[in-house]
Chain A
Amino acid sequence: MTAPRKRPSTASLMLVPFWLVVLVAYVGTMLWTVQISFTASKLLPVDVYVGFDQYHRLFSSTRWLVSMQNAVIFGVLFITGALVLGFLLAVVLDQKVRFENTLRTVFLYPYAMSFIVTGLIWQWLMNPGLGIQKAVRDWGFESFSFAWAVDRDMALYALVLAGLWQASGLVMALMLAGLRGVDEEIWKASRIDGIPAWRVYLFVVVPMLRPLILTAVVLLSISVVKAFDLVVALTNGGPGISSDMPAKFVMDNLFTRQNIGLATAAATVMLITVAAVLVPWIYSEYFRKVRAGAAT
């Protein structure tokens, strides 16, 4: 009788280091961050509590509001764009095209590059004196203009473009794996019923890919929230503050501006926002699955 009881306790014993790491490294630092955000810390953390002063300061800063707004615009465009592009690429490759392996590698290749390299590449491409604009103008199209990174109305979309270039390949790889998992019988059945292929994709295959889409959205959202290196390399938040992002705001205040209190307040707001958006959605996704599983 003792054996079955002992087995789980050994297992939990093995998990103790893991739980320690999670508690100390993740939850612990998170709580510490929240704690600092209620203090008057500047260069070093101090224990002078000022209540919600830092949050008040944060939300009276134009730059923070602009960067939050930018994060939303960037996030929506980047996530939907990458999902749509990635899915279309996967569908194209799924038609058993020739050189599929080569194309797959080509599309996935940008993902092998870090955001910082992506940012630099696109910075050059969109530089009016060096990049695409100059090349096309040299070919004789004098009025051609493509200088998004230095245009305050377009800089944010320059970030989206570079982000899409980098991340679409990843979504494609995920979706392609999913498409390959779709049962051949479904295609046969749809062909017998005479349903056009696009309708099968949209109404049969996409719902089947739901878990993969969820994974892709989570992965993409993470890169939206931590969008820092791409911004720094491509526009550095500029021109002005037109392409600023919350993560850059936090980093600037943490180091250059010696505003640990304000930076941690911003980080806390980011955490709460992400939790408020993602948790209910993921919860409902899994909850639905559990219920569906129970029903069958």
Chain B
Amino acid sequence: MKQLIATILAGSALAFAAMPASAQDKPRAEVMHWWTSGGESAAIKTFADAYEKAGGEWVDTATAGGENSRAATINRMVGGQPPTAAQFNTGRQFDDLVSQGLIRPIEALAEEGGWKKAMPTALVEAASRDGEMYALPINVHGQNWTFYSKTVLEKSGVAELPSTWEAMIPALQKIKEAGFTPLALGGQPWQERALFNAILLQQGGKDLYMRIYRDKDEEAVRSEGFAKAVETYGALRGLVDAGSPGRSWNDTTSLLLRDTAAIQVMGDWVKGEFTNAGKTPSEDYGCTIGLDDTMLMVGGDVFVFPKTEDEAQKKAQDLLVETMISKDAQAAFNLAKGSMPVRNDVDTSAFDACAKKGLELLKSEDSQAPVFEILVSASLAGAVDDVVTQFWNNPSAQPEDVVEGFVNAFEVEG
């Protein structure tokens, strides 16, 4: 008995002695993110596993909802208790944090790792300020996908999905006459705007798209190409179901899953819903980028690394960057997330047919355009949302209202 107690005591003493030692040796990284849904948490877990395997200790701080998570991150950074790394969307969400000097530049790590040149330029630019990288892009989400139900198309007598919006509208009318919902849309401002931007990029072309959102060119807004995109968009107003307003994107996708609606224009996260329902891309449902697979609208997620004086934290950040961007972690993470790897030298044989279409377009600079959050500030993005949603929800609104709204938004929000 005495022996036993002595052993237990000795064991626990050993354990106590060992604990702080191991905690000190392992770089401890607290990562803040908003990936809480089933597929998303499976994705972030691949990073956590890779990090632990590389000898680090991963502390997961997940907050549901991007806005909430970002607000928590910003509060902690301003309050002087920053996490090791925090998630943001690719774009300008962390502009102010960079200009306040709260974020550590990772240019040196990029040079060392040599992965910068394997990334899409648009995303590198979006992660850089004054030529220095401040954020680590970790995935590419295409945001102008059109997913469609093959069953509905077939039953309505539409042989195949038209490859232009001009031909699409009569086809959607036909689907409506056959008794289906032609366009599955969740009537939330960001979804309405995503549809509009997809049409603008498809019909107006990359040049017009960039002149409007990058250059805020009034002439481009007043051009014929823009007016045509607005008209097309307006013509779609009557082609959604009555339950559309306020519906979330995943509830909207379920209309396609149940074969009651024909098409949904959305980002590739929609694929997760299809996969969960046990459907295979391009067999059970169709996918196309834009409408003719020529131009991909790229966006995604990044991690930023708050500036710190703590050497241990710096080491943890170095290791995080190295792990997250490694080829294996990139493949594993993006397979789970439904997105595409951010570097083009990753083995992509395991990716599905839809993702492969996207990967093909990622190879060339000319076949990709940045999502508009990369090009415009959060407040201008909000102002554009306001204009687009007012037009979409008011059947008597005229295309000129959108033109004037854009001009006004550019003037006020710049």
Chain A interface residues (CB < 8 Å from chain B): 42-44, 57, 60-63, 123, 127-129, 147, 149-150, 152, 235-236, 238-242, 252-253, 255-259, 262
Contacts and interface: CB of A to CB of B under 8 A. Distances in A.
A61 B390 CA distance: 13
Interface in B93-112: 93, 95-97, 100
A253 B389 contact: no
Interface residues of B, number: 32
B377 interface: yes
A94 to B, nearest CB: 40
A239 to B, nearest CB: 4
30 contacts: A42-B95, A42-B96, A42-B378, A43-B95, A44-B96, A44-B97, A123-B246, A128-B243, A129-B241, A149-B245, A149-B246, A150-B187, A150-B242, A150-B245, A236-B188, A238-B187, A238-B245, A239-B187, A239-B393, A241-B386, A241-B389, A253-B379, A255-B67, A256-B67, A256-B382, A257-B379, A257-B381, A258-B96, A258-B378, A258-B379
Contacts of A62: 386, 390
A63 B393 CA distance: 14
Interface centre among A43, A60, A235 (most CB of B within 10 A): A43
A257 B382 contact: yes
A232 to B, nearest CB: 10
B151 interface: no
Interface string B240-256: 01111110000000000
A42 B245 contact: no
Contact of A44 (B100, B245, B246): B100
A150 B241 CA distance: 11
Contacts of B392: 240
Interface string B384-401: 001001101110000000
Interface in B354-405: 377-379, 381-382, 386, 389-390, 392-394
Contacts of B393: 152, 238-240, 242
A179 to B, nearest CB: 40
A123 B242 CA distance: 14
B379 A262 contact: yes
B386 A239 contact: no
Contacts of A242: 393
A258 B78 contact: no
Contacts of B382: 252-253, 256-257, 259
A259 B377 CA distance: 10
B71 interface: yes
Contacts of B6: none
Contacts of A42: 95-96, 377-379
B210 interface: no
Given A44-B100, A256-B378, A258-B378, A239 B78 contact: no
Contacts of A147: 242
Contacts of A123: 246
B74 interface: yes
Contacts of A63: 386
Given A44-B74, A150-B245, 20 more contacts: A42-B95, A43-B74, A43-B97, A44-B100, A60-B412, A149-B245, A236-B246, A238-B187, A238-B389, A239-B187, A240-B392, A241-B390, A253-B382, A256-B67, A257-B382, A258-B93, A258-B96, A258-B377, A258-B379, A262-B379
A117 B97 CA distance: 36
Interface of B: 67, 70-71, 74, 78, 93, 95-97, 100, 187-189, 241-246, 377-379, 381-382, 386, 389-390, 392-394, 408, 412
A42 B378 CA distance: 9
A278 B242 CA distance: 40
Nearest to A145: B242
Nearest to B390: A240
A242 B70 CA distance: 28
A128 to B, nearest CB: 4
A255 B72 CA distance: 11
Contacts of B378: 42-43, 256-259
B78 A255 contact: no
A84 to B, nearest CB: 30
A43 B96 contact: yes
> What 8 pairs across the A-B complex have the smallest Cβ distances?
A240-B393, A43-B96, A257-B382, A150-B245, A239-B393, A239-B245, A258-B378, A129-B243
Given A238-B188, A238-B389, A150 B379 contact: no
A239 B392 CA distance: 9
Contacts of A57: 412
A123 B381 CA distance: 27
A239 B192 CA distance: 11
A236 B248 CA distance: 11
A293 B245 CA distance: 55
B389 A255 contact: no
B234 to A, nearest CB: 14
A239 B187 CA distance: 7
A259 B409 CA distance: 14
Contacts of A238: 187-189, 245-246, 389, 393
Interface centre among B93, B189, B386, B408 (most CB of A within 10 A): B386
